[in-house]
Structure 1
Amino acid sequence: MNALAEFYVDEDFVILGFPCNQFGLQEPGNNSEILNDVRYVRPGGGFEPLMTFFEKIDVNGNNEHPLFTFLKSACETTFTEFDSDLFYEPLRIGDLQWNFEKFLISRDGKPYSRYHPIVVDPDALKDDINTLLNA
């Protein structure tokens, strides 16, 4: 994500991060601990994320944040079966199923696309980002 933030630094483009502990219980800390974890542990070495981090939320299940209810309802799921390391209930078709699933949203707040967590190459997102920036 930092590579995209750097590439689009002079554009009308922002990256928002929403920590969540529903996937393999990988984000157990509180909000300040999560950012320190990114800086000093994973990936560490003083890494500074170039995104706005929000408070930790639930993106699925009974306590799902309304933003993610909206995003999931507007975009097709990226998974075809449920993973076993999910920590929420109830499981629903269309749920996010792992960290780093991404949504691209237009300037007017409409979800444009949803990306599977294995999509990590910034170039794989640039065509869609450019389409929205040039709309």
Structure 2
Amino acid sequence: MNALAEYYADEDFVILGFPCNQFNLQEPAFTANELMNGIKYVRPGGGFEPAMTLFKKTDVNGKDEDPIFTFLKSACEYTDTNFESALFYEPLKVGDIHWNFEKFLIGKNGKPYSRYHPAVITSGKIKADINALLSA
């Protein structure tokens, strides 16, 4: 995501990150400071700093999911039909966010444009869609 943020630094484009602990309890931080220290010094570590706006830890699925994710999931086709075994929320629903690093691309009009499986980690496909939205 940092590569995309840097590539589009001079464009009308922002990346928002929502840490979540519902997937194998991979985000145990409680405060924003703990979260940033974990990113900077542990995973990925080495002084890494995210080039995106990070929000507080957020539930993206289940009975306490944030309404923004209810909206996003209802507007885009889901990326997978299999559930992982290390999920920490209920109830499980078709269309849930599959795992950490699932991504949504939203147009300037606020309408969700596309949803990307967590395995989409190279920026090629996402860049093509971003370029299409920026030139629209």
TM-score normalised according to structure 1 size = 0.98
Paired residue type of 2:6 = E
Q: Partners in 1 of 2:12 and 2:111 — Cα distance?
A: 15
Q: Partners in 2 of 1:68 and 1:81 — Cα distance?
A: 19
Q: Does 1:2 align with 2:2?
A: yes
**2:98 and 2:117 in contact (8 A); partners too:** no
Match of 1:74 in 2: 75
Match of 2:16 in 1: 16
Paired residue type of 2:88 = F
SS of the residue 2:113 aligns to: strand
Match of 1:105 in 2: 106
Offset of 1:124 from its aligned partner?
A: 2.1
Offset of 1:82 from its aligned partner?
A: 1.1
SS of the residue 1:77 aligns to: coil
Alignment of 1:112-123 (within 5 A): 112-123=113-124
Match of 1:92 in 2: 93
Please, what is the CA RMSD of the aligned residues?
0.7
* CA offsets 1:70-129 (integer angstroms, 9 cap, x no match): 000000110121111110000000000200000000001100000000100012211100
**1:18 and 1:55 in contact (8 A); partners too:** yes
Query: Equivalent pairs: percent with the same residue?
Result: 69
* CA offsets 1:41-77 (integer angstroms, 9 cap, x no match): 1111111100000010100000000000000000011
Offset of 1:29 from its aligned partner?
A: 1.0
TM-score normalised according to structure 2 size = 0.97
Q: Which runs of 5+ in 1 are unaligned?
A: none
Q: Which runs of 5+ in 2 are unaligned?
A: none
Aligned residues: 135
Quick check: 24-33 or 55-64, which moved more?
24-33
Paired residue type of 2:95 = G
Q: Partners in 2 of 1:125 and 1:33 — Cα distance?
A: 30
Paired residue type of 1:89 = E
Q: Partners in 1 of 2:37 and 2:79 — Cα distance?
A: 30
Q: Partners in 1 of 2:3 and 2:16 — Cα distance?
A: 14
Q: Which runs of 4+ in 1 moved over 2 A?
A: none
SS of the residue 2:71 aligns to: helix
Q: Partners in 2 of 1:76 and 1:117 — Cα distance?
A: 14
Quick check: 74-83 or 111-120, which moved more?
74-83
Q: Partners in 2 of 1:34 and 1:23 — Cα distance?
A: 16
